[in-house]
């Protein structure tokens, strides 16, 4: 990947991770890579995770790069008494699906209205788990890119999900919930990882 040629308007990527630490870290690495290649970056966190970031790194930790900005949107959950832990994931997921699109749409509109200060939004980089950023990008008429920050084990689980359903491995039958070697032998060695992943996440 080469840098942006001089005299060319810089592309502006809006990066929005799923609001869990592992997803945020992976998206941050991608955003930094894009920034190093000449992109203007807007990194979107939920208000909750942005407070956690400021608390852990200090209020000045986000200063110094005018072309790498942080913005927030609400996650739709009631305010928390503490910012020291992970939110309840099922509640967070449901809330994100039901409440984040209008807030993200408004953020994209505000970014495009600030064209004197920053380039117009040219693409949205969304965590593969979320669909609302794709809808907002389509409405705006910009490219949407899905990013999958999960590790290999999680990717194998997602990749093989349809095969697991087709083979009757999911939803899990009671005999697949056993962890003894005999149950794993019945599944078959080439597919051992997938049922283990499904077992851990169901």
CATH of the domain at 33: 3.40.50.2000
Q: Are residues 43 and 127 in the same domain?
A: yes
Per-residue pLDDT, averaged over 71-89, amounts to 76
Please, what is the Cα angle at 140 between 50 and 91, to 5 degrees?
A: 40
Residues 112 and 184: their CA atoms lie apart, in Å, by 54
Give the per-residue pLDDT at 106: 95
Q: Are residues 116 and 175 in the same domain?
A: no
Q: Are residues 140 and 165 in the same domain?
A: no
**Out of 12, 75, 103, 127, which one is annotated catalytic?**
127
Among residues of the chain, what percentage have pLDDT more than 70?
Answer: 70
Q: Which residue has the higher pLDDT, 92 or 187?
A: 92
Q: Are residues 190 and 174 in the same domain?
A: yes
- Domain residues for the domain of 82 are 12-149
Q: Is the peptide bond before 171 cis (omega within 30 degrees of 0)?
A: yes
Q: Are residues 46 and 143 in the same domain?
A: yes
Count the domains in the chain: 2
The domain boundary, picked from 149, 166, 190, lies at 149
pLDDT of residue 69 exceeding 60 = yes
- Catalytic site residue 23? yes
- Catalytic site residue 88? no
Quick: pLDDT tens for 39-55.
Answer: 999 999 998 887 877 76
**Out of 12, 23, 40, 50, which one is annotated catalytic?**
23
Tell me what the pLDDT averaged over the chain comes to: 77
Residue 9 in tokens: 């308007």
Q: Specify if 2 maps to a domain.
A: no
Residues 186 and 173: their CA atoms lie apart, in Å, by 12
Q: Specify if 6 maps to a domain.
A: no
Q: Specify if 67 maps to a domain.
A: yes
Q: What is the DSSP string of the chain?
A: -PPPPTTSPPPEEEEE--SSHHHHHHHHHHHHHHHHTT-EEEEEEEHHHHHHHHHHH-TTTT-S-TTEEEEEE--SSPPPS-SSS---HHHHHHHHHHHHHHHHHHHHHHHHHTTTTSPPP-EEEEETT--HHHHHHHHHT-EEEEE----HHHHHHHHTHHHHHHTT-SSPPGGGS--SHHHHHHH-GGGSHHHHHHHHT-
Per-residue pLDDT, averaged over 117-139, amounts to 93
Q: Are residues 166 and 77 in the same domain?
A: no
Q: Are residues 94 and 181 in the same domain?
A: no
Residues 46 and 190: their CA atoms lie apart, in Å, by 40
Strand pairing category for 12-16 and 123-127: parallel
Q: Nearest CA to 55 among 84, 75, 97, 79? A: 84
Per-residue pLDDT, averaged over 72-89, amounts to 75
Q: Are residues 26 and 71 in the same domain?
A: yes
Give the per-residue pLDDT at 184: 46
Give the per-residue pLDDT at 199: 46
Residue with token string 């083979």: 167
Q: Are residues 29 and 47 in the same domain?
A: yes
Per-residue pLDDT, averaged over 120-144, amounts to 93
Give the per-residue pLDDT at 191: 44
Give the per-residue pLDDT at 194: 46
Give the per-residue pLDDT at 120: 94
Q: Between the CA of residue 150 and those of 40, 64, 104, 114, 158, what are the distances in Å? A: 24, 29, 23, 33, 10
Q: Are residues 110 and 128 in the same domain?
A: yes
Q: Which residue has the higher pLDDT, 59 or 198?
A: 59
């Amino acid at each position: 990947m080469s840098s942006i040629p001089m005299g060319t308007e810089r592309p502006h990527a809006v990066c929005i991770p799923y609001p869990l630490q592992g997803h945020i870290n992976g998206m941050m690495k991608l955003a930094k890579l894009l920034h190093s290649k000449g992109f203007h970056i807007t990194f979107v966190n939920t208000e909750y995770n942005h407070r956690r970031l400021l608390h852990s790194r200090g209020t000045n930790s986000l200063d110094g790069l005018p072309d790498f900005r942080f913005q927030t949107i609400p996650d739709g959950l009631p305010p928390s008494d503490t910012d020291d832990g992970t939110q309840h994931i099922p509640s967070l997921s449901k809330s994100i699906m039901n409440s984040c699109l209008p807030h993200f749409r408004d953020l994209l509109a505000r970014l495009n209205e600030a064209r004197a200060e920053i380039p117009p939004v040219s693409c949205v980089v969304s965590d593969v788990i979320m669909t609302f950023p794709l809808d907002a990008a389509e409405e705006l008429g910009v490219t949407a890119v899905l990013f999958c920050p999960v590790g290999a084990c999680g990717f194998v689980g997602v990749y093989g999900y349809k095969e697991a359903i087709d083979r009757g491995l999911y939803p899990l039958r009671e005999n697949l919930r056993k962890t003894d070697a005999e149950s794993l032998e019945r599944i078959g060695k080439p597919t051992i990882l997938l049922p283990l992943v499904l077992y851990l996440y169901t």
